[in-house]
Structure 1
Amino acid sequence: MTDLHVRKMRFAFADYDVPFLWNERNPAFSSMANAVSFLAIGFEKMIVQLITELMPRITDPAVAEEADAFMRQEGQHSTAHRQHVKGLIRRYPGLQTTLDEVIGAFDKLTAQTSPEYRLAYTADLEATFTPVFKLMLDNDSSLFRPGDDRVASLFIWHFVEEVEHRSSALVIFDSVVGSDLYRMRQAPSVFKHVLDVIKIACEGFNEHVPLEDRKIDALSMFARHRRAQRVRKLLPWLDHTDHGPMPRAFDDLPLGQQLVALSGVVRSQMPRHNPEHEKLPALAGEWFDRYDEGYDVTYWYTAGTREAN
């Protein structure tokens, strides 16, 4: 039987004004996480369609059960992120166009590529999540705790469940396709597409969210953009729009931890990679324990205070 659990979460984003700058101490991380919300909606819609399409080809009952639980977890993530993004669109209506473009990029991928390619896409990207999200969750005191608790709690829930199903996409890929060489060959185009979609979201933030609300150039997460903007400032005759300061989301995190995460991302694309052997964030275990005990994980940092009041 699969070890995955499908948890339905509601973060009440419709009940309050959802801030774009949800962690005022780290505007770059706020923007990057918001871009993840946009990406998640399109990506996880693609996953649900893909697994539905592949189910008749999955003959191993254990893999079929894993695929079903994986698909249903991702469906819950997509629903929650839609509510988060809907809250942002209420405040910045132009972001509806951005969301449509992001979803359209994944709809195009579904229409124009084979299920084998989309499964490789899913397996490649999902394999990177454990080292990347471990870096984030290990530094929750600066990345999540200072922010809006409901937005922070959304991302913490999503990231710990990505850790929980860290092997699912590769298990399904190995059952249906079973070629590490094929998966590795697709990786360059996969990550180009991911970055292109993130860029769509960030360009939309620059266009539709005033600088006074986002505080930074949302494209600052792209090193090429940072370099180009610096060159344009030195050459004033070039066309140049200043969208704000260009910090990086992880500027304040220990360099050693960043390098460990980077090495984990590289390792995740190698042949015979097994995510079960990855080091896990301590926060994930704490989250699962609290959830099982009935703690209100939709207010990860403040539920105890709320209950006391």
Structure 2
Amino acid sequence: MTDLIVRKMNFAFEDYDVPFLWNEENPAFSSMANAVSFLAIGFEKMIVKMILQTKSLITDAAVAEEADAFMRQEGQHSTAHRQHVRGLIRSYPGLQQTLDEVIGEFDRLTAETPLNYRLAYTADLEATFTSVFKLMLDNEATLFQPGDDRVASLFIWHFVEEVEHRSSALIIFDSVVGSDLYRMRMAPSIFRHVLKVVRIACAGFNEHVPLEDRKVDALAMFGSYRNKQHLRRLLPRLQPQNSGPMLRAFDDLPLGEQLIALKGIIRSQLPKHNPATETLPALADVWFRRYEAGYDVSHWYTADSVGSEAKQ
């Protein structure tokens, strides 16, 4: 029996405008998280199609059940992120083009790459999430709490569920493909594609969201872009693009915690990686307990039943 629970959430993005700068204290994190929403829609659409194609190849009943629950959780994530992005598009219609480009990148993967590659893609990327999201959730007081409660609650829910199904993609990959060597060989192209998609989203933000609304150059999260901008400043004939301050989402987070997350990302790509042994964010356990107790986790910081506890 799988331990995964499929939770249907409503974050009320239709109730009032969805701000691009949803955490005014950290514009770079606001932009990066928005890019995650765009990525999630395309990636999770690919996952659903991939699992449907994979079902006939899974011979173990327990793995089949895990795959089904994993697919349904990811489907719920995609639905919620579509609601978030739809709210952004209402304010910035040009972002529809950006969303179409992002989805198109994953649609091409589905159409043009073998199933084994997409299974490796999902396993490799999902394997990094526990370390990355632990860094974020361990710093929720600065990354999430100061922001729009709907957007913050969306990401907290998504990230704790990624922790919950942290082993699912590798379980499915090992059952169908079962080659750590193949997964490692595909990793460079997989992460190049991930960065390409995130860059498409960030370039779209720079193009379609006025600087006064985003307060940051959305492409500043890419080291190659920052270096290019710095070089332009040094060469008289070249002018750097004036797309806003070059801020980064994690600049104020403890360096030691960032290095631990980086080590976890590297470890996640090695042979015999077992996500079940990873150190988990404490907030995930709190979230699951509150959900089971009936708290309104879709309003993590503002619901009467959890508002005071969430700040303790």
Query: What is the TM-score of this pair, normalised by structure 1?
Result: 0.98
Q: Which runs of 5+ in 2 are unaligned?
A: none
Query: 2:275 maps to which residue?
Result: 275
Whether contact under 8 Å (2:153, 2:298) holds in the other structure is yes
Q: Deviations over 1:236-259 (max 9, x none)?
A: 312532101111100000000000
Q: Measure, in 1, the Cα distance between the counterparts of 2:11 and 2:152.
A: 10
Residue 206 (structure 1) aligns with? 206
What is the CA distance between 1:280 and its match in structure 2? 0.2
Map residues 282-297 of structure 1 onto 2, 5 A cutoff: 282-297=282-297
Shift of residue 43 of structure 1?
0.1
Q: Deviations over 1:121-154 (max 9, x none)?
A: 0000000000000000000000000000000000
Q: Structure 1: how far apart are the matches of 2:71 and 2:103?
A: 18
d(CA) in 1 for partners of 2:87, 2:265: 32
Q: 2:162 is matched with which residue? A: 162
Distance 1:97 1:113, change over 3 A: same
CA RMSD, Structure 1 to Structure 2 (Å)? 1.1
Contact 2:295/2:306 (CA < 8 Å) preserved in 1?
no
Offset, 1:234: 2.1
Is 2:111 the partner of 1:111?
A: yes
- Per the alignment, residue 183 of structure 2 pairs with 183
CA distance in 2, matches of 1:214, 1:243: 10
The answer as to whether partners of 2:230 and 2:240 remain within 8 angstroms in 1 is: no
Aligned-pair CA distance for 1:307: 8.8
Cα distance in 2 between the residues matched to 1:235 and 1:244: 19
Distance 2:303 2:166 in 1: 27
Q: Which amino acid aligns with 1:271?
A: P
Q: Is the 8 A contact 2:117 2:186 kept in 1?
A: yes
Counterpart CA distance in 1 for 2:307 and 2:182 is 52
Trace 1:1-309 onto structure 2 (pairs within 5 A).
1-304=1-304
Q: In the TM superposition, what whole-angstrom CA distance separates every residue of 1:30-83 from its partner, at most 9, and x where no partner exists?
A: 000000000000000000000000000001000000000000000000000000
Q: Distance in 1 between matches of 2:35 and 2:206?
A: 12
Name the CA distance, whole Å, in 1 between partners of 2:84 and 2:285: 25
Q: Which amino acid aligns with 2:26?
A: N
Aligned mates of 2:189, 2:38 — CA distance in 1:
20
CA distance in 2, matches of 1:306, 1:87: 25
Deviation readout 1:77-120 (Å, 9 max, x if unpaired): 00000000000000000000000000000000110000000000
Matched residue SS, 1:304: coil
Distance 1:172 1:306, change over 3 A: closer
CA pair 172-229 structure 1, distance change in 2 beyond 3 A:
same
Letter in 2 for 1:93: P
Residues in 2 aligned to 1:139 and 1:15: alpha-carbon distance in whole angstroms = 28
